[in-house]
Structure 1
Amino acid sequence: MKGWHQMRKTVSTGSPWEPKVGYSRAVVVNDTIYLSGTAGQGPDVYAQTRDALAIVEKVLRDNGFAMSDVVQSRLVVADFEHWEDAARAHGEVYHQIRPAFSLVHALPFVDSSILVEVEAIAVRTSE
């Protein structure tokens, strides 16, 4: 379409995996942000999920989005025995927002200390 112009911006958080694998922490296209699988730190699935969601929130805020803009969320859990702990952490953060959601069981991640990753897509609806 004539006059249609999309703005695309990549977001890096400095992970050494980004250039090695060829991905960005997030990609913003106009009023939508797509966040890559994000791992957190902590001794268990619950703590890692909460930390990963805090990273997601920071990336969103730093790019003009809010957690309430999240329209889709995905939990990828390697330690499926404790999926309920990941789901509980997710529910504590997204309780009122209620995005579309998927829970995926994965084989162990490349780094065996990672038990869970979170992904998100947000559409800017807040000012």
Structure 2
Amino acid sequence: MRQLISSGAPWEPIVGYSRAVRVGNVVEVAGTTAQDGDVITGEGDVYAQTKRALEKIGEALAAAGASFADVVRTRIFVTDISQWEAVGRAHGEVFGAIRPAASMLEVKALIDSRLLVEIEATAIITGVGNAPSTGN
């Protein structure tokens, strides 16, 4: 069974993607930023943007029947690698005890020049009673 989780963004059907997809016990969360519509949380503040992106990832995981504890891999894309400590601190506040495999890469730009960080996550649900819900 394939479960699609939407963020509700108007560009999802245009681009052809979902915020997250669950197939079996695997959940893939797409690149997630601090952008909500036209608003960017923490504009100019990479720590605040990282926190918001992680909140949104948590929401997508929950919609797929998963949690941060199920995350086995994160990929972090930053526009300024010199800001890695602030990004890492926010990531560590969520994943410090979970410690998924993680990569942090500097990229030239993200889809909006105000965005400083984008995060992807992969989760594998191993708990009992985590059947996917019907939906999107």
Whether the TM-score (by the shorter chain) exceeds 0.5 is yes
Name the structure, 1 or 2, with higher relative contact order (CA <8 Å, separation 6+).
2
C-alpha offsets along residues 58-92 of structure 1, whole Å, 9 cap, x if unaligned?
11112210110000011110122312211111011
Matched, 1:125 2:126: yes
CA distance in 1, matches of 2:14, 2:108: 21
Q: Helix, strand or coil for the counterpart of 1:108? A: coil
Letter in 2 for 1:16: P
Q: Is the 8 A contact 1:45 1:79 kept in 2?
A: no
Q: Using the TM superposition, give the Cα deviation of residue 16 of structure 1 relative to its aligned residue in structure 2, in angstroms.
A: 2.1
1:67 is matched with: 68
Matched, 1:22 2:23: no
Q: Helix, strand or coil for the counterpart of 1:18? A: helix
Q: Is the 8 A contact 1:65 1:126 kept in 2?
A: no
Letter in 2 for 1:109: L
Letter in 1 for 2:105: V
* 1:43-122 equivalence runs, <5 A: 43=43, 44-122=45-123
Count of paired positions: 121
Letter in 2 for 1:107: K
Identity %: 47
> What is the TM-score of this pair, normalised by structure 2?
0.84
Moved over 4 A (4+): none
| 5+ residue gaps, structure 2 | 35-40, 129-136
CA distance in 1, matches of 2:4, 2:65: 14
C-alpha offsets along residues 38-66 of structure 1, whole Å, 9 cap, x if unaligned?
00121311000011101111111122101
CA distance in 2, matches of 1:16, 1:115: 21
Q: Is the 8 A contact 2:80 2:116 kept in 1?
A: yes
| 5+ residue gaps, structure 1 | 1-6
User: What's the RMSD between the two structures over aligned residues?
Assistant: 1.1
2:37 is matched with: none
CA distance in 1, matches of 2:127, 2:115: 32
